[in-house]
Amino acid sequence: MSKQPLMERIAGSGTTLGEGMHITRALPTRHRRLVGAWCFLDHFGPTDASSGRGLRVGPHPHIGLQTVTWLLEGEIVHRDSLGSLKAIRPGQLNLMTAGRGICHSEESPPVRPARLHGAQLWIAQPESARHGEPDFVHHAKLPVVQRGQLCVTLLAGTALGERSPAAVATPLVGMELRSLDASDTRLPLDPAFEYAALVLQGTATLESEFLGPGTLLYLGQGRESLRLNTEGPAVVLLIGGEPFAEETLMWWNFVGRSQEELTQACRDWNAAAAYFGTVAGYDGGRLVAPMPPWAIHGA
Ligand code: MN
């Protein structure tokens, strides 16, 4: 007996950052917290970043996760407490591993393309990795595979015989699918993985679901392939992985396992605990951690 894989449309929540940049939060939502170890997905822009100072996200901390930055347009400068200073452009990948603690800032460079458009994702680290050392790696080049009318870039994991150089700690995959005009193109999937897709640009029909930006299409487990049709240019982000086996809790920029741990991380950051380090060269203040509701209303 074969079970039909799940197919759920999950509306992302919209928010606005800084000088009017639109963000869709596709993960986590009330309906779905994880896809494999992927625990956060923000789609930002496209926006005009030419006026003012553009994007400015001051120094803030992370624990227990890896951040993945992926751009379709524009440029962002990353600084972190390891001393990294790196500009990222479309087609490149920034992978920052928080482990036991890191802090970083993100900003538009003074001279930059007018438009900014991209995605930021987080990967929950398993117990075996989450207390480890922080790390930052900029991948200037990623494997790109042509499959029919689809141009597939491998952000993380293995697919179509290629492996991303991005180091992750659990079985997962992340790909950008770029298409001008795909007609019934089939992409092989790993049936042990659960998957979800988010359109970043244009529209696409995945299996029989017509999809535009703003809605996460959860595809469940047990699929051997995904059928894709597009009319005109489209960019789809496809994420997947083995269902994450550990119970996670998220608050602000932290992924942990207990309320106490997350409360402590907020207190530590706000007290400038040494293990988060400091960001050099960012022209602006560091962010303040909002205390979680259980810590405010509790004893
Ligand atoms: Mn961050």
Enumerate residue ranges in the chain where pLDDT < 50. Answer: 1, 299
Closest CA to 27 of 225, 231, 248: 248
CA distance 277 to 239: 31
Look up residue 179 and give its two tokens.
């298409």
Cis omega (within 30 of 0) for bond into 188: no
Burial of 140 (0-12, 13-18, 19+ CB in 10 A): exposed
Distance 252 CA to ligand 1 centre (A): 10
Distance 271 CA to ligand 1 centre (A): 18
Query: Residue 150: its pLDDT value, please?
Result: 94
Query: Residue 16: its pLDDT value, please?
Result: 84
Give me the count of residues in the chain.
299
What are the two backbone dihedrals, phi and then psi, of residue 12, each rounded to the nearest 5 degrees? -75, 165
Closest CA to 47 of 131, 129, 113, 133: 113
Distance 7 CA to ligand 1 centre (A): 30
Closest CA to 124 of 239, 288, 285: 239
Closest CA to 164 of 177, 155, 152: 155
Q: Is 84 helix (H, G, I), strand (E, B) or coil?
A: coil
Distance 229 CA to ligand 1 centre (A): 34
Strands 102-107 and 56-62: antiparallel
Query: Residue 299: its pLDDT value, please?
Result: 47
Report yes or no: 250 and 28 within 8 Å, Cβ to Cβ: yes
Distance 69 CA to ligand 1 centre (A): 10
- Other C-beta atoms lying within 10 Å of the C-beta of residue 225: 12
CA distance 26 to 11: 7
CA distance 250 to 98: 14
Distance 103 CA to ligand 1 centre (A): 7
Query: Residue 96: its pLDDT value, please?
Result: 98
- pTM value? 0.96
What are the two backbone dihedrals, phi and then psi, of residue 109, each rounded to the nearest 5 degrees? -70, 160
Distance 296 CA to ligand 1 centre (A): 24
Distance 276 CA to ligand 1 centre (A): 13
Distance 105 CA to ligand 1 centre (A): 7
User: Quick one: DSSP state of residue 245?
Assistant: -
Distance 294 CA to ligand 1 centre (A): 23
Distance 104 CA to ligand 1 centre (A): 6
Alpha carbon distances (Å) from 55 to 43, 106, 108, 127: 14, 7, 5, 33
At 29, which amino acid appears? T
Query: How far, in whole angstroms, is CA 270 from its chain's centroid?
Result: 25
Query: How far, in whole angstroms, is CA 58 from its chain's centroid?
Result: 18
Distance 61 CA to ligand 1 centre (A): 7
Distance 151 CA to ligand 1 centre (A): 28
Distance 186 CA to ligand 1 centre (A): 34
Query: How far, in whole angstroms, is CA 3 from its chain's centroid?
Result: 30
Distance 152 CA to ligand 1 centre (A): 26
